[in-house]
Homo-oligomer: A and B are copies of this chain.
Amino acid sequence: MSSRTKVVDALRSTDFGKEITVKGWVRSHRNSKAVDFIALNDGSTIKNIQVVVDPSTMDAEQLKSITTGACIRVTGMLVESQGKGQACEVQSREIEIYGLCPGDYPMQKKGQSFEYMRQFAHMRLRTNTFGAVFRIRHNMAIAVHKYFHDHGFYYFHTPLITASDAEGAGEMFQVTTLDLDRVAKSGEVDYEKDFFGKKTSLTVSGQLEGELGATALGAIYTFGPTFRAENSNTPRHLAEFWMIEPEVAFMDQKELMDLEEDFIKYCVRWALDNCHDDLEFLNQMIDKTLIQTLESVVKEDFVRLTYTKGIRILEETVKQGRKFEFPITGWGMDLSSEHERFLVEEYFKRPVIMTDYPASIKAFYMKKNADGKTMQGTDVLFPRIGEIIGGSVREESYEKLVGEIEARGMEESTYGWYLDTRKYGSCPHAGFGLGFERLILFVTGMQNIRDVIPFARTPKNAEF
């Protein structure tokens, strides 16, 4: 028996007449009198290889038992295909059944809703759509690592269990080894007895620890899970998601914008260059403008727009009769996704890097401009997504940072280690955060964030 050939390689091969072995799951099995056709897929590509079976070569009951979802080995000759849309097929000489598939297989039928499939997240991985999504997700992760490695950034593992709250905001999950039943019985919570001897939570961001890395190693990036205990049941929210957070010493606002634009274009270009078949499929099934949108993002220069100018444009637009669900209340307001998407999709028809937001609506660690009102933020706004990157120059002055912490009523003592970066050899630096799933939504054209992570964690849902 020849060793296994992956379907992706078999489909590319022109070694017609050679015997090969393919292994995979049956996507469909149809038969006529003279011949059976089995479409076989092994996850290595969205395309199936067609297996042609002469029924006389196999026990009839056995052959009939090979239904959608079954797992088999096929050994046979690779031949040029007569059928349309495929270059080659396998003429089966021998089939081994690894595992049959009972009729209650939840992915039996085509065209089931994504909502239905979410209940079977462990089985939806075997469908065309989710195969495509998760191959693309893999490729985006590889692009992230390759980009940063090639640019001299170090992958830096910040802790997930933390005793601090990165942004002084955000609802957090508590992590504990206290026996809750005992807590209930005893009537008191004794953190001395907890694993870490104090109250700990799951991180909402690795940024602050990332800055520790950047101010030592020069340039780092994090890429890991992040948690928010927000009770939001929307197509945009996950309780557990993956974040990418680069931090760079000696970087200013202009360089940060260049980095953001270059990085995200690199990722999108990577998808176009490396995920052709999967994107074709999604373009056909999910969003007919997908590939065109990806291509235009790669080609166009991003608009660089101050928040102040952005507000002015929105105010003008309202004057001209445009209605928004959330009103434009003027300078100082926080933009909603609808406003961001208007600027990107309708006004500029290009991605926008919005800069210099009011300091009051942004986090304490962001560097203020000389005007004392705005800060050196650099958020990237994208079609369909709205904010895809949130970035800023970081405040490097110890005094100003302490002042900001005090002004916001935050606890200075919890930030001692963070402030040390400004106390000992402080340096100008900047960084940004990208929610990985938002990138995947953009690149796949999928609509619901629960469909671009293998096993979504949302309120009342921690299955699998």
Contacts and interface: CB of A to CB of B under 8 A. Distances in A.
Interface of A: 4, 6, 8, 23-26, 42-44, 69-71, 73, 98-102, 105, 122-123, 125-126, 130-131, 134-135, 137-138, 141-142, 145, 149, 152, 154-164, 171, 173-178, 180-181, 183-189, 195-198, 200, 202, 209, 212-213, 215-219, 224-225, 227, 229, 231, 239-240, 242, 249-250, 396, 417-418, 420-428, 453-455, 457, 459-464
Contacts of A123: 216, 420, 424
A160 B160 contact: yes
A213 B98 CA distance: 18
Given A23-B249, A71-B427, A157-B454, 11 more contacts: A24-B218, A69-B424, A99-B427, A134-B156, A142-B155, A157-B453, A159-B457, A178-B180, A184-B188, A197-B460, A212-B464
A137 to B, nearest CB: 7
A433 B145 CA distance: 21
A195 B427 CA distance: 40
A173 B175 contact: yes
Contacts of A137: 154-155, 157
Nearest to A231: B195
Given A242-B157, A424-B69, A42 B218 contact: yes
Contacts of A457: 159, 161, 196
A213 B428 CA distance: 43
Contact of A174 (B180, B453, B455): B180
A212 B125 contact: yes
Contacts of A44: 152, 217-218
Copies in the complex: 2
Contacts of A250: 4, 23, 42, 73
A26 B44 CA distance: 51
B161 A138 contact: no
A225 B227 CA distance: 13
Contacts of A102: 423-424
A159 B423 CA distance: 38
A426 B371 CA distance: 65
A173 B161 contact: yes
A88 to B, nearest CB: 19
B184 A99 contact: no
Nearest to A241: B157
A100 B426 CA distance: 7
A188 B181 CA distance: 7
B173 A195 contact: yes
List 5 tightest A-B contacts by C-beta distance, closest first: A99-B426, A125-B216, A43-B218, A43-B217, A71-B425
A462 B187 contact: no
A99 B425 contact: yes
Nearest to A140: B155
A213 B455 CA distance: 11
A240 B175 CA distance: 12
A447 B24 CA distance: 45
Given A157-B137, A173-B177, A195-B459, A424 B105 contact: yes
Interface centre among A24, A70, A71, A219 (most CB of B within 10 A): A71
Contact of A161 (B158, B231, B239): B239
A48 to B, nearest CB: 13
A340 B413 CA distance: 47
Contact of A187 (B8, B164, B185): B185
23 contacts: A6-B218, A23-B250, A23-B427, A24-B218, A42-B218, A43-B216, A71-B427, A99-B425, A100-B425, A125-B213, A134-B154, A157-B453, A159-B455, A163-B463, A171-B177, A174-B177, A183-B189, A184-B187, A184-B188, A196-B459, A197-B459, A224-B224, A417-B463
